[in-house]
Structure 1
Amino acid sequence: MKSTVEYLEPTKARLTVTVDYDELKPFMAEAYKEIAGQVNIPGFRKGNVPPRIIDQRFGRGAVIEQVVNQVVPEQLNNAIVENKLRPLAQPEIEVDEIPATEGEPGGALVFSANMDVVPAFELPSLEGRTVEVDLIDVTDEDVQAELDSLRGRFATLKNLDRPAEDGDFLTLDLKATVGDEEIDSLSDVSYELGSGSMLPGQDEALRGASAGEEITFNSSVAGGDHAGSEAVIDVKVTAVKERELPEVDDDFALMVSEFDTAEELREDTVKTVREGKKGSQALQARDRLLEQLIAEAEILLPEDVVEAEVARRVSEDADEEARAEVRERIVADIRQQVFLDTLVEGREVEVAQQELIDFMMHTAQTYGMDLGTMLQDQTQIQNLYAELARTKALVSVLGETTVKDTNGEVVDLSAFTADGSKAEEPEVVEEEGTFAIDIEDIADEDEEN
């Protein structure tokens, strides 16, 4: 395969690819074999029809058409990688020349692809960088909030005789109907009033309700066959309860922790809050470093791609201010991804197999996804691989960056920037656009978790 690139504009490229006939021969042979297995020709067993007979009966053009459909996507991808192009939209492909459809076999497949691309750019210097982060300030309110969260896990619910208020827990029986059709029903549902976690309009309808009261309100249907329809919701409030939090005393400390006293539990909670804020400080340092680096990089984006994405996300009747806000976010997102991908290449980042397995499992658990389904989706695996590589690339730069707080004191983030892949592990193998992952490793890891 030979390829050439012509830049029509700084962000528009025309890629021309030539595949000689000798390179096409294996594909031609495969196409002849496939067609031979599909046709019935008197005098020949199915699957044993010679190529010359197929040419006579169906024309060599049918074979070449099949070859073109197979070869073009594959060789286009190879040419994009070979020329280090970064297309941001689906290329427009034109087949300029095909091998001879008659007479002596020969010729070449020539096709071109016009594409919107991000031109190559230089990474800014990564050495000697400094970013500033906020001070860690652990307040009494922070500690109390953490303790309240712990208390909430051991809270009890007490029945009330008064009307419901925000923060109360209601036990509900619900029935939803659209027209004369009952589309859903639930019994003994516990719902925190004011949380807004169920149906639009539910909080307003139930606020002030008492146990035993029946209420009807209208709400829109979010999904299913009746998505977007207006439903009538019949609700019976069977109980109104308030949450009682246990006191933070020595007995509570013994029940929920390894500590003997409430004071020891509180001291440990201070450490927990501080560690949490330390993690937030690391994220702030990472984000500010990324903003700093992107601001110094000259990244040109294809306007057509940006405008197409704006049009996809913004309704036609949106005002200019809303359109401008969406456009700004789109540009920032694309610039960030393009920059991080270039950083991955510049830092020659590698992702170990175990890192990818752990990341996939974490993603599956976080978003309630099926790990087995993820393993069957090569596109999703590649996306997760890319996301993890971008994170590693940026963290590697953060590890070489001086981080100071607003008082000018150096902040040690080594606990967050250490590379956990230094241990000897099999690397992820990228071969012909796929990733070789040991399924047994993932199964064993999943079982342990």
Structure 2
Amino acid sequence: MKAELLKKEGTKVSLKITVENDKFEAAVTKAYNKNKGKFNIPGFRKGKAPRVVIESQYGKGVFYNDAIELLFPEVYPEAIKELDIDPIDRPDLDVEEISKDNGLVMVVTVEVKPEFELGAYKGIEIAKVDNNVTEAEVEVSLQEMQNKHARLVSAEDKALEKGFTAIIDFEGFVDGVAFEGGKGENYSLVIGSNTFIPGFEDQLVGKKAGEEVEVNVEFPAEYHAENLAGKPAVFKVKVNDVKVKELPELDDEFAKDSSEFDTLAELKSDLRAKLEENAKASAEAEMRNAIVEKVSANTEVEIPEAMIQHQIDNMLMELNMQLQYQGLNLQQLLQMTGRSIEELREERREDAARLVKSSLVLEAIAKAEAIEVSEEEMNEELEKMAKMYNMESDKIKASLRETDIEDIKGQIKIRKTIDLLVDNAVIA
């Protein structure tokens, strides 16, 4: 295999990959053996026709595409490694020549990471962050625990208000016709949570258990379901139950029931210690983010669109995973908020571009400073992962693919790079 760089314009690179005829012929033979069973040739049992006979019937290049599909994943990584190219998107492939003399000649065009000059990244001035924990914050943390241990109890004599939970049956109609997905039974709805269409929950305020009400709303103009977008709807709602939170008393008994401590004073002391630990970590993270932003701002980079779109893909994937922990998914979020996937992607575009730029700058600094990851550092990271997932580190390591290991090394390298920036910063 021979690789040759043809041209580079901005972040677009064209390269020529030449595969020797013997190697290409071997791939064609593999393609023939893989696909010969698909051909019915008169005089031969299915799958038994010789390659030359199939080629005479369907053309000499009948197996070329399949052969190239077999070869490309092998020769392309070798070519980009040889030419020190760092692709960021799928390559476009054009077959230039197939001949006995020159073998397979392919021209590949692909978008790569941009080249740029690093700005100043040492001696950057950042403000020292001190996140002191107040008594009010301890009380808020204690109240959060109190709320987590609250019970929902029926309050049939009370009317719904914000913060109460309504247990409802509902069915929605547009132009007098029930629509798909507009019906539910014994649905638990927290008034004021803005879970439903704007205006829906407000019209339940003041209702009591057993009451029925017609709720009139209008779907947002940009609602994901085109048949409902911008249309007025009527929901027939029955309030089956009204529930309110019953909070436990904040005393020593609460401490015993909700924690490992015997007294409320001990519980509050532990909450303060944890808040102080979190505040310290938050302050460090804030300063690290600040220095990355300043260093990134010192460098001009033309960010390829493909990298921004890939970052948005990752952000939406993470969002979907977070939603799944809450029993939802991305499609349901769009439905509840009346937004389209295009709007959601555009909302995240600015953050995605900022993250991509920071990543590119940090990678460039790591390269300039020859920052590497030692085997010891890798093993320490695997030990942390093993502890997090309650597994043995050997089993964690065995489960990782090569790409996973490279990703972990990349994360460690970026972390070390930010450490270098902080160590060389002026913290005022």
Whether TM-score is above 0.5 comes out as yes
**RMSD over aligned Cα atoms:** 4.4
Distance across 1 between alignment mates of 2:411 and 2:56: 57
More contact order relative to length (CA 8 Å, sep ≥ 6): 2
Count of matched residue pairs: 375
- Of stretches 328-337 and 240-249 in structure 1, the one that deviates more from structure 2 is 328-337
Partner of 1:261: 263
Counterpart among 406, 409, 412 of residue 392 in structure 1? 412
Matched, 1:115 2:110: yes
Distance across 2 between alignment mates of 1:331 and 1:19: 38
Partner of 2:192: 194
1:247 partner amino acid: E
Distance across 2 between alignment mates of 1:250 and 1:327: 50
Give the 5 Å matches for 1:282-431.
282-297=284-299, 299-302=301-304, 328-339=350-361, 347-349=371-373, 355=382, 388-400=408-420, 402=422
Q: Percent identity?
A: 28
Partner of 1:171: 167
Which structure 1 residue ranges, 5 or more long, are not aligned?
Answer: 100-104, 314-322, 363-374, 409-449
1:357-393 CA-partner distances (Å, limit 9, x unpaired): 959x97xxxxxxxxxxxx9xx9xx95x7666444322
1:2-29 CA-partner distances (Å, limit 9, x unpaired): 1122444232322121111122132021
Distance across 1 between alignment mates of 2:48 and 2:115: 51
1:57-78 CA-partner distances (Å, limit 9, x unpaired): 3332212233234434553344
Residue 11 of structure 2 contacts residue 114 of structure 2 at CA under 8 Å; is this kept in 1? Answer: yes
- Of stretches 151-160 and 84-93 in structure 1, the one that deviates more from structure 2 is 84-93
- Of stretches 202-211 and 219-228 in structure 1, the one that deviates more from structure 2 is 219-228
CA distance 1:306–1:56, change in 2 (3 Å): same
Partner of 1:414: none
Q: For residue 62 of structure 2, give the secondary structure of its aligned residue in structure 1.
A: helix
Which structure 2 residue ranges, 5 or more long, are not aligned?
Answer: 317-344, 390-398
Matched, 1:247 2:249: yes
Q: For residue 414 of structure 2, give the secondary structure of its aligned residue in structure 1.
A: helix
Partner of 1:437: none
1:30-73 CA-partner distances (Å, limit 9, x unpaired): 02223433323355454443333333333322122332344345
Partner of 1:16: 16
Q: CA deviation at 1:150?
A: 0.5
Residue 157 of structure 1 contacts residue 242 of structure 1 at CA under 8 Å; is this kept in 2? Answer: yes
2:242 partner amino acid: V
CA distance 1:298–1:80, change in 2 (3 Å): farther
Residue 254 of structure 2 contacts residue 264 of structure 2 at CA under 8 Å; is this kept in 1? Answer: yes
CA distance 1:150–1:327, change in 2 (3 Å): closer
Distance across 2 between alignment mates of 1:356 and 1:93: 42
Distance across 1 between alignment mates of 2:199 and 2:73: 51
CA distance 1:326–1:261, change in 2 (3 Å): closer
Distance across 2 between alignment mates of 1:197 and 1:342: 44
Residue 161 of structure 2 contacts residue 191 of structure 2 at CA under 8 Å; is this kept in 1? Answer: yes
1:97 partner amino acid: E
Partner of 1:52: 52
2:202 partner amino acid: E
2:356 partner amino acid: I
Residue 344 of structure 1 contacts residue 390 of structure 1 at CA under 8 Å; is this kept in 2? Answer: no
Counterpart among 134, 145, 152 of residue 150 in structure 1? 145
Partner of 2:238: 236
Give the 5 Å matches for 1:63-212.
63-72=63-72, 74-99=74-99, 105-121=100-116, 132-158=127-153, 159=155, 161-178=157-174, 179-181=177-179, 183-212=181-210
